[in-house]
A and B are shown apart, each in its own frame.
Chain A
Amino acid sequence: MTAHLPVLQVIIPLLAAPLCALARRGRIAWGIALATSWTTFWIAIQLLARVRSEGPISYALGGWAAPVGIEYRIDLLSAFVLVIVTGIGAVVTPYALKSVEREIEAAKIPLFYAAFVLCLTGLLGITVTGDVFNVFVFLEISSLSAYALIGLGQDRRALTAAFQYLIMGSIGATFIVIGIGMMYVMTGSLNMADLSVLLAELGPNRTIVVAFGFLTVGISLKLALFPLHLWLPNAYTYAPSTVTAFIAATATKVAVYMLLRFFFTIFGVVFSFDVMQLDRVLLPLALIAIVTMSLVAIFQTNVKRMLAYSSVAQIGYMILGISLASVTGLTGGILHLFNHALIKGSLFMAMGCVMYRVGSVEIDAMRGLGKKMPWTMAAFVAGGLSLIGVPLTVGFISKWYLILGALERGWWPVAALILAASLMAVVYIWRVVEVAYFQEGPGEDSSIVEAPLALLIPTWVLVFANFYFGIDATFTTEVAGAAARSLMGLVP
Chain B
Amino acid sequence: MEDRLILRVGAKILIPFILMFALYVQFHGDYGPGGGFQAGLIFASAFILYALIFGLDTAKRVLPLGFVWFCGALGVWIFAGVGVVTLVMGGEFLNYDVLAHEPEHGQELGILLVELGVLTTVFGVMVAMFYAFAGRRQVR
Are chains A and B native binding partners rather than an unrelated pairing?
A: yes
- Residues in chain A within 8 A of chain B (CB atoms): 1, 4, 7, 11, 14-15, 17-19, 21-22, 59-63
Known A18-B72, A19-B73, A21-B73; judge A59-B92 contact (CB<8 A).
yes
- Residues in chain B within 8 A of chain A (CB atoms): 69-70, 72-74, 76-77, 80, 83-84, 87, 91-97
Known A4-B87, A11-B83, A22-B70; judge A17-B76 contact (CB<8 A).
yes
Contact A22 B95 (CB under 8 A): no
Contact B69 A4 (CB under 8 A): no
Q: Chain B's nearest CB lies how many Å from the CB of A122?
A: 14
CB-based nearest A residue for B95: A63
CB-based nearest B residue for A70: B94
Q: Chain A's nearest CB lies how many Å from the CB of B86?
A: 8
Contact A18 B73 (CB under 8 A): yes
Contact B77 A62 (CB under 8 A): no
Q: How far is the CA of A314 from the CA of B76 in the complex (A)?
A: 38
Partner of B69, one of A11, A14, A21: A21
Known A4-B87, A21-B69; judge A62-B76 contact (CB<8 A).
no
Partner of A18, one of B76, B83, B97: B76
**Residues of chain B within 8 A of A19, CB atoms compared:** 73
Q: List 25 A-B contacts (CB under 8 A).
A: A1-B87, A4-B92, A4-B93, A7-B83, A7-B92, A7-B93, A11-B80, A11-B83, A11-B84, A14-B76, A15-B80, A17-B76, A18-B74, A18-B77, A19-B73, A21-B72, A21-B73, A59-B92, A61-B92, A61-B94, A62-B95, A62-B96, A63-B91, A63-B95, A63-B97
Q: How far is the CA of A61 from the CA of B86 in the complex (A)?
A: 11
CB-based nearest A residue for B91: A63
CB-based nearest A residue for B87: A4
**Residues of chain A within 8 A of B74, CB atoms compared:** 18
**Residues of chain B within 8 A of A61, CB atoms compared:** 92-94
- Nearest 10 interchain pairs by C-beta: A18-B73, A63-B95, A62-B94, A7-B93, A63-B92, A18-B76, A62-B95, A22-B73, A15-B80, A4-B87
Q: How far is the CA of A146 from the CA of B132 in the complex (A)?
A: 20
**Residues of chain A within 8 A of B72, CB atoms compared:** 18, 21
**Residues of chain A within 8 A of B84, CB atoms compared:** 11, 15
The interface centre, meaning the residue of B69, B74, B94 with most chain A CB atoms within 10 A of its CB, is: B94
CB-based nearest A residue for B73: A18
Q: How far is the CA of A267 from the CA of B84 in the complex (A)?
A: 35
Q: How far is the CA of A22 from the CA of B80 in the complex (A)?
A: 17
Q: How far is the CA of A237 from the CA of B97 in the complex (A)?
A: 50
Q: Chain B's nearest CB lies how many Å from the CB of A59?
A: 7
Q: Chain B's nearest CB lies how many Å from the CB of A134?
A: 13
Known A11-B84, A15-B77; judge A22-B94 contact (CB<8 A).
no
Q: How far is the CA of A17 from the CA of B80 in the complex (A)?
A: 12
Q: Chain B's nearest CB lies how many Å from the CB of A126?
A: 17
Q: How far is the CA of A14 from the CA of B83 in the complex (A)?
A: 12
**Residues of chain B within 8 A of A14, CB atoms compared:** 76, 80
Q: Chain A's nearest CB lies how many Å from the CB of B69?
A: 7
Q: Chain B's nearest CB lies how many Å from the CB of A121?
A: 11
Q: Chain A's nearest CB lies how many Å from the CB of B118?
A: 14
Q: Chain A's nearest CB lies how many Å from the CB of B24?
A: 26
Contact B93 A11 (CB under 8 A): yes
**Residues of chain B within 8 A of A7, CB atoms compared:** 83, 87, 92-93
Besides A14-B76, A59-B93, 16 other A-B contacts (C-beta < 8 A): A1-B87, A4-B93, A11-B93, A14-B80, A15-B80, A17-B76, A18-B76, A19-B73, A21-B69, A61-B93, A62-B92, A62-B94, A62-B96, A63-B91, A63-B95, A63-B97
Q: How far is the CA of A22 from the CA of B67 in the complex (A)?
A: 10
